[in-house]
Amino acid sequence: MVRVFSISLLAMLAGLASASSLPAQEVINQPVHVMEGWSYEDCGSSSDAIQVKSISLSPDPPKPGQDLTVTVVGTAQQRIEDGAYADVVVKLGLIKLLSKSFDVCEEARSANASIQCPIDEGEYTVVQTVALPKEIPQAKFSVSVRGYTVEDEDMLCLDLKVDFMRNPFPRFGF
């Protein structure tokens, strides 16, 4: 279950950087990217220092008990320093399964990620493989990621949905 949130943390590794807070009157209108069995929405703004260009999974859709390879392409518009963090909330319907703050740079070090803090401006591609536990229940999960700089400024906003429900009618394409 805890591994589900790692998808969202990998998105943070795409190009971590600091950003200034959004003005209160700014309207955010980002498309929802829908794939087979999962989707994500970049709920940040164009002024955020991390601009996620794409997220892809293999296998798609993800399957409990299998390795999941996540590829994130993004741009760091500013340098990120140690101390950046992400608040991650994983829900099953209205039930909150996990609510935790993670040190993004420490998570990158622990995962032996190809990108380590400090991170300079530029485009990055991060490919990370995680083992999904076979005990993941057949359910739909939502993951909310809010990233912040060491100065507590907005850095990234992602909302992900992952559907581990098995298709009851696979032969009919439903």
Residue 84: predicted pLDDT: 95
- For the stretch 2-55, pLDDT in tens is 333 333 333 333 322 222 223 333 434 456 666 668 999 999 988 888 999 999
Look-up of token digits 């739909």 = 140
Which residue ranges form the domains of the chain, and what is each CATH number?
4-20+29-167 (2.70.220.10)
Q: How far apart are CA 99 and CA 5, in angstroms?
A: 10
- For the stretch 68-113, pLDDT in tens is 999 999 999 999 999 999 999 999 989 999 999 999 999 999 988 8
Q: Which residues contact 169 (CB under 8 A, 6 or more apart)?
A: none
62 touches 35 (CB < 8 A): no
Residue 113: predicted pLDDT: 86
| Cα distances (Å, whole numbers) of residue 74 to 23, 77, 86 | 23, 10, 17
Residue 170: predicted pLDDT: 54
Query: How is residue 64 written in tokens?
Result: 């409990």
Beta carbons within 10 angstroms of residue 74's beta carbon: 24
Model-level pTM greater than 0.85? Answer: no
In percent, how much of the chain has pLDDT > 70?
A: 74
98 closest CA partner among 10, 20, 168, 4: 4
